[in-house]
Chain A
């Protein structure tokens, strides 16, 4: 009965001299996995968003948080005149990315999405555009 008790004490004493694994969060950032599902990004090619406003992502979205409005540009191409994601409702399932037929949508490793106002959580097209 006594020996296991002493063994327990030994283990905790050994741990006392180990280097803590704590991450000093705001100063140190964690290594986020490459396939992490964070903030969305609209991919850009030829200086404009690849999105063709096909409405597949708002259709598949289980949280119904994507708003797309189609428009027609100078070349008579369909494009997303309005593209908004409400981050307060998004559950970060990634279905929108999977559904996109032209690979216009991706998810980044950004996870610090805290904000002060509710309206700031609705990410507009400008805020979603991929930063190069």
Chain B
């Protein structure tokens, strides 16, 4: 049986892939909160959560139940529609970036070739057709996330929220530029915008774009740092600087709506780590079976995020802007030029 020229198994596989990726991200988000508290705890010579369940493993569930039963408070002066919409607008872009990220190589089921990437299919020869502008799609989704935060800050009708929202939009827009330019270095080497092609090109350890040449190495590091800034992770978590802005854009939020912002933050972290893995660390390429390589690399990068959070204090607002516009932006431009020269010289 065929629908639109494709056998049914493709559609079944597609739905299965969506479900698996969604469950994977949700579980990772839930346990990232636990892992973060444990890792930071141990880095501060504490133990972290250890009461709920064995070694505190049920802590994320307890947190979820607690937030779910909290009272739902909507400020009377808030713009209700935008106030309710904002958490969704923040959460959804965090998840849909996963549609184009390849988490594994092509696998064969019942004679059909199926690529482990949601928005892709393969013909019987094993050639993968995926979104040929995958990277642009990710950049677009990443910039959508800012709307949720701006909307939340503005619709709450509270000074702290508004300032938090403003800060974060300024921050996201500034760092998106440098992150985008760092990705340009990847395009120059890969000659393609399709994420499958980018990963397929990175076979072997020295095939990883991070280790291709000194310029892509620096571009990879800058991309990761800029992404951290873009998703408001420490040390760039200015929008929720507790000491000056209470809780930033989500000051007025409570219950599940607050939980959604929280989930969006962690889902963004997973996405950023997955994108960095795909673009610079060779995606599914490596010694383990393909998907496991990808997961291991993503988890390693998430550990790095937590490690950074445990180490550095928060940047001041002007320092943050200076770092974005005066350090990262010029240096990525320089990297693009250097990369071009390198590619032409050592073909």
Chain A bound to chain B: yes
Give the interface of A toward B (CB within 8 A): 5, 8-9, 11-13, 15-16, 18-22
Give, as a whole number of angstroms, the nearest-CB distance from A12 to chain B. Answer: 5
Whether B140 is near chain A, meaning CB under 8 Å from some CB there, is: no
Give, as a whole number of angstroms, the nearest-CB distance from A117 to chain B. Answer: 27
Docked complex Cα distance between A16 and B307 (Å)? 9
* Contact present for A13 and B45 (CB under 8 Å): no
Whether B44 is near chain A, meaning CB under 8 Å from some CB there, is: yes
Partner of B43, one of A5, A15, A22: A15
A-B contact pairs, 12 of them (CB 8 A): A5-B312, A8-B311, A12-B43, A12-B310, A12-B311, A16-B39, A16-B43, A18-B42, A20-B45, A20-B47, A21-B46, A22-B46
B45 — which chain A residues lie within 8 A by C-beta? 15, 18-22
A9 — which chain B residues lie within 8 A by C-beta? 307-308, 311
- B-side binding surface: helix, strand, loop or mixed? helix
Chain A-chain B contacts (Cβ-Cβ < 8 Å), number: 33
| Residues of B19-46 contacting chain A, CB below 8 A | 39, 41-46
The size bracket of the interface on B is 10 to 19
Interface string of B41-64 (1 = CB under 8 A from A): 111111100000000000000000
Partner of A20, one of B46, B308, B311: B46
A12 — which chain B residues lie within 8 A by C-beta? 43, 307, 310-311
Docked complex Cα distance between A19 and B310 (Å)? 17
Docked complex Cα distance between A15 and B45 (Å)? 6
Give, as a whole number of angstroms, the nearest-CB distance from A103 to chain B. Answer: 42
Docked complex Cα distance between A22 and B42 (Å)? 10
Give, as a whole number of angstroms, the nearest-CB distance from B141 to chain A. Answer: 30
Nearest CB to that of B41 among chain A residues? A20
Give, as a whole number of angstroms, the nearest-CB distance from A109 to chain B. Answer: 25
A20 — which chain B residues lie within 8 A by C-beta? 41-42, 45-47
Interface string of B242-272 (1 = CB under 8 A from A): 0000000000000000000000000000000
